[in-house]
Structure 1
């Protein structure tokens, strides 16, 4: 499973530049995120439209992980699955999380021709040909993560439902019930995408991810983004208290990988 954030983080002494000391794979050949270069992304006619088949009844809870927060889903059945695109199997939705920064123009993990966005949503799915999420982590096609950029703009009522739940999980390890939510409402209208083979962007940085990065961003307001930054990476009673203000990993070398694109 994913590693304890007490061991790593985003600070000066335990941030992404130091992760290779504990996780040598950080210097691997298919690390994420990457900077997507528009001129070199290859159109691939074999790619299919994405099919998001989500069921709001699978939403279970929201938890402060110390490095971000997760909205978690019941993945014991195929009620909420992703298929299509570059995928040849069905992938079950496990959770989604966000990455953001201390600046409104520098919070996403992926970038497009060196352009970053205010934040980035990751919808994390695992391949149903494997027995469990943990099993899938050890295979090159184990996970499919959909990345959605967020840009400063008008209020998104659907996102506000998530924002409103954050007051219940201010500190690390705090958990609250969060049900009856269909994350398809967080997707943009246009589902054109780029795809490439990559890794988790947090330790243990395993190279098990088929990345699908959507071209069209969704909106987040400055006020909503400030609620992300108001979360703590520390537990209740821990001193000093530290806010989650910058939880993104810098772009990694492409290492000869091909980025493919799907356009309707």
Structure 2
């Protein structure tokens, strides 16, 4: 039995279903977005983000990714519009990447992936009293997916990588304040949307996905810094392992439809 999930052969996505039966569910993520099959939906509203930089609290290394946590005690930082009904409070952002500079995003577009992917996680505070309750409901969570492509250094991502010395190993965290995640969004807010799931265990099928069409840039050197983070604690006598990859392969679309906000 797998004692802890991860991204290695013995505990990676290929065996997640041993502990998490939802891995074979009907609305799993990520997916391969086939652009010609995406349905333009003129009823989709513009996607609106309203984030308070002061809601940023800490940055941490979970051993699976690097994440920034936000204060979600009120509606000071929310996303609305797009496919969403009402406000969804900002909870967290994290990244997924791969072992090479060109292949590491979770979602693909027409079979092509990007170097990495940012997920900005929100929960439906109008219907539910907590993130935990929202995470168990079909429309409880809203995640914005942003592709990262290799290019120029990103000065906003640099604010994140500058903390990596303090969170190099699993379980480490550091204060991280005065950060507005909207700086990590592309200029165009055109998007695809579909009903899906968390891409990490327990793989709950509670996510309204909004995947932005245009990528943002990240340099090879910045990507290398993500891959240099440790998935293990720094313990004497135990070999340290780097987080060289942490993305889940695409899952079957099954009977779902992908809608587009643009022609």
TM-score past 0.5 threshold: yes
In structure 2, the residue matched to 1:198 is 196
In structure 2, the residue matched to 1:165 is 163
Task: Provide the rounded CA distance (Å) in 2 between the counterparts of 1:39 and 1:93.
Answer: 32
Any residues of structure 2 matched to 1:21-32 within 5 Å, and which? 21-32=18-29
Uncovered stretches (5+) of structure 2, i.e. residues with no partner: none
Task: Provide the rounded CA distance (Å) in 2 between the counterparts of 1:263 and 1:158.
Answer: 27
Aligned length: 260
In structure 1, the residue matched to 2:221 is 223
1:136 positional shift: 0.4
1:131 positional shift: 0.4
1:165 positional shift: 1.0
1:194 positional shift: 0.1
Uncovered stretches (5+) of structure 1, i.e. residues with no partner: none
In structure 2, the residue matched to 1:181 is 179
Task: Provide the rounded CA distance (Å) in 2 between the counterparts of 1:157 and 1:99.
Answer: 19
Any residues of structure 2 matched to 1:1-264 within 5 Å, and which? 7-128=4-125, 129-237=127-235, 239-263=238-262
Task: Provide the rounded CA distance (Å) in 2 between the counterparts of 1:109 and 1:231.
Answer: 19
Task: Provide the rounded CA distance (Å) in 2 between the counterparts of 1:169 and 1:82.
Answer: 28
> In structure 1, the residue corresponding to 2:201 is in which secondary structure?
coil
> In structure 2, the residue corresponding to 1:176 is in which secondary structure?
strand
> In structure 2, the residue corresponding to 1:223 is in which secondary structure?
helix
Please give the TM-score of this superposition, normalised by the length of structure 1. Answer: 0.97
After TM superposition, the runs of 4+ consecutive aligned structure 1 residues lying more than 3 A away are: none
Task: Provide the rounded CA distance (Å) in 1 between the counterparts of 2:81 and 2:8.
Answer: 38
1:193 positional shift: 0.1
Q: Deviations over 1:205-243 (max 9, x none)?
A: 000000000000000000000000110000121612110
Task: Provide the rounded CA distance (Å) in 1 between the counterparts of 2:133 and 2:149.
Answer: 34
Q: Deviations over 1:79-108 (max 9, x none)?
A: 100000000120000010000001111100
Q: What's the C-alpha RMSD, in Å, of the aligned pairs?
A: 1.1
Q: Deviations over 1:26-64 (max 9, x none)?
A: 000000000000110000011011000000000001010
Task: Provide the rounded CA distance (Å) in 2 between the counterparts of 1:229 and 1:6.
Answer: 24
Task: Provide the rounded CA distance (Å) in 2 between the counterparts of 1:34 and 1:240.
Answer: 34
Please give the TM-score of this superposition, normalised by the length of structure 2. Answer: 0.97
1:189 positional shift: 0.2
> In structure 2, the residue corresponding to 1:168 is in which secondary structure?
coil
Task: Provide the rounded CA distance (Å) in 2 between the counterparts of 1:79 and 1:164.
Answer: 26
1:6 positional shift: 6.0
Task: Provide the rounded CA distance (Å) in 1 between the counterparts of 2:107 and 2:3.
Answer: 25
> In structure 1, the residue corresponding to 2:170 is in which secondary structure?
coil
